[in-house]
Amino acid sequence: MSAIEDGQRFFGVTGRPGTGKTTLLERIARHAATAGIRCGGFLQLRGTKQGERVSEYLLTHTTDFSSITIARYDGNHGYVYNESAFAKARRWLHEDAHCAQLLIVDELGVLEADGRGHAPALDSLLEHHVEAVVLAGLRKQALQTFVDRYSIRRDRLIDLDTDTARTDVFINVLFAELRLISVQPIRE
C-alpha cells in the first residue's frame, strides 16, 4: 500500500464557499515556493465579477501562476465549464508529479464526487504512486466521498468553518511531511 493509499500524504482543506479554502491553498503554494519546496498542480481562482456574482473562474498553475478560464457564468444555466481547462489541469498534474514535492488540487466538488471534472486526472495520478504530498481543496457537500475515496486521515484535514484556530498546526504538519520527500530534479 502506498503512502497516498493509506492517507499519509493526502491533506484536505474544506469549508463552505467563501471560507478561504483557495486563499489558504494559494498562501501555502507561495510559502512553499519561497521555502524552496517544489510545488505543482493548480488553483481555481476567482476571475471577474459582475455585481455580487463571480462571472469567471480561472484555473491557475502553481508553478508559474499562468491561467486559463475554467468556468464562466452564462446568466441562464449557471456556470459553463471549459473542458479544455480540465485537459490542461490533467497535463499540469502529470508533468508536475515527476518533480513536485507538493501537488495542489483545487477544487474538488460535486463534479469530482461523480467522477468527472478533475477526478479522472487525480485518480490516474494516484494510481501511479506519486511521492508528492497532495493538498486538495474539498467542497463540503462532497467531503465524505473524498475522505472515503482518498483515505484522508482526520488529522490531515482542516475544516475552515470550525477549525480556524488549527490552521497554523495544520500548515506545520503539512510542511513537516514535505521535508520527508525527495524528488527527481527538474529536467531543464
pTM of the model: 0.87
Q: What are the per-10-residue average pLDDT scores of the chain (188 residues)?
A: 54 92 93 90 89 88 94 88 94 90 93 93 84 92 93 91 88 86 45
Give the pLDDT score at 119. Answer: 94
Cell numbers 502529470: residue: 94
* CA 115 to chain centroid: 16
Domain ranges of the chain: 10-43+83-178
For residue 159, give every residue at least 6 positions away whose Cβ sits within 8 Å of its Cβ, in sequence order, or none: 14, 15, 140
CATH 3.40.50.2300 for domain 10-43+83-178: no
Give the pLDDT score at 48. Answer: 82
CA distance 116 to 47: 22
Give the pLDDT score at 188. Answer: 34
* Set of cell numbers at residue 5: 493509499
Give the pLDDT score at 4. Answer: 46
Q: In this structure, what are the phi and psi dihedrals at residue 151, rounded to the nearest 5 degrees?
A: 50, 45
Cell numbers 463552505: residue: 16
Strand 53-54 with 49-50, pairing = antiparallel
Of the candidates 146, 182, 163, 126, the residue with the CA atom closest to the CA atom of residue 3? 126
Give the pLDDT score at 14. Answer: 95
